[in-house]
Amino acid sequence: MKQTDERQISDDSLSKVSLGSLTTLSVHPYQGELGSEEGGGSELLAVGHQHYEAGEFAAAAAALMAAQVAYETEANDLGRVRALYQLSLALYAQGDYEQAVVTAQAALELAVSLAEPQLTAQLLGHLGNAYRHQDNYDAAITVQQQSLQSFRNLQDSAGVVAALNNLGLAYRAKGDLRYAIEMQQQALRIAKQAGDRYTESQILKNIGNAYYGLGEYDKAMKYYEQRLVASRELGDQRGEAQILRNLCNAARAGWRAGAGDHL
């Protein structure tokens, strides 16, 4: 994507801004046109967004901090939510998960108070990913479940796919690989129905990784091979190279396991 959200991070999570363009699974965190609001907050938000898209996360964070202050001065609470959300994404991208959590929590509280269900659902998913990176798996699972229910209430299939995938990642991180696979297979079915080949390819890799973690290398290779086909269809050379490495690792691990069985 050159879309907003966590896709730019070396992370297997999906965000509700990636199923529409999907891949910020294309609704983006702002939910409106960047220039639709007047004043300093809107201008700073646009600057922060541009830096974020360019991968300049420190510069993005600085602009977005200024944007949320400007929105506060303007008494524009919805603008503050958007600035705080994007700021949390920039902090997450820099690996500052503690501040990403604090900022996302502040944005979430505001979004709930403003009765903004779409932003609330997105923020819950993002917060869950940040909790997972802090190894706070129970909290991650709780808020991802809330995000999933919120997206279901909104009848937002892109959001449901993202939430199921990210919930699976939280379960996998906790060590519950079977349940992780169950969640991500649900996500995969919906992505296939939507014809979202990019998201489908991401989930195929995640399921393959879970089977690899279980030591079920034949099943891992099955999903990796499907991901390889998808990567080639999409012209995703980076993804193709990555999955070829995964296939080699799974084949090697399977051979070693088989050889060990005969010792």
Instruction: Give the pLDDT score at 36.
Output: 40
In this prediction, residues 166-170 reach a mean pLDDT of: 97
Mean model confidence pLDDT for the chain = 87
Q: How high is the pLDDT of residue 262? A: 44
pLDDT band at 35 (very low <50, low <70, confident <90, very high): very low
pLDDT band at 118 (very low <50, low <70, confident <90, very high): very high
Average pLDDT over residues 132-144: 98
- Rounded Cα–Cα distance for residues 144 and 126 (Å): 9
The mean pLDDT of 75-103, rounded to a whole number, is 98
Checking if the pLDDT of 21 tops 80, the result is: no
Q: Residue ranges per domain, the chain? A: 6-174, 189-263
State what percent of residues in the chain have pLDDT above 90.
81
d(CA 255, CA 53): 42
CA distance 4 to 11: 14
Quick: pLDDT tens for 178-218. 999 999 999 999 999 999 999 999 999 999 999 999 999 99
pLDDT, tens digit, for every residue of 210-235?
999 999 999 999 999 999 999 999 99
Tell me what pLDDT residue 257 has: 83
- pLDDT tens for 158-167 read 999 999 999 9
232: left (phi over 0), alpha (psi -120 to 50) or beta: alpha
CATH code of domain 6-174:
1.25.40.10
Nearest to 252 by CA among 227, 226, 210, 220: 220
Say which residue, 93 or 258, is predicted with more confidence.
93
Gap between the Cα atoms of 127 and 143, Å rounded: 7
* Alpha carbons 172 and 207: distance in angstroms, whole number: 10
Query: Looking at per-residue confidence, does 31 or 153 come out higher?
Result: 153
Nearby residues of 213 by Cβ (< 8 Å), 6 or more positions away? 172, 177
In this predicted structure, what is the pLDDT of residue 260?
Answer: 56
**CB 180, CB 210: distance < 8 Å:** yes
Q: Do domains 6-174 and 189-263 have the same CATH topology?
A: yes
Q: DSSP for 108-157?
A: HHHHHHTT-HHHHHHHHHHHHHHHHHTT-HHHHHHHHHHHHHHHHHTT-H
Element (H, E) at 16: none
- What is the homologous superfamily of the domain 189-263 according to CATH? Tetratricopeptide repeat domain (1.25.40.10)
pTM (two decimals): 0.84
Region 41-70 average pLDDT: 96
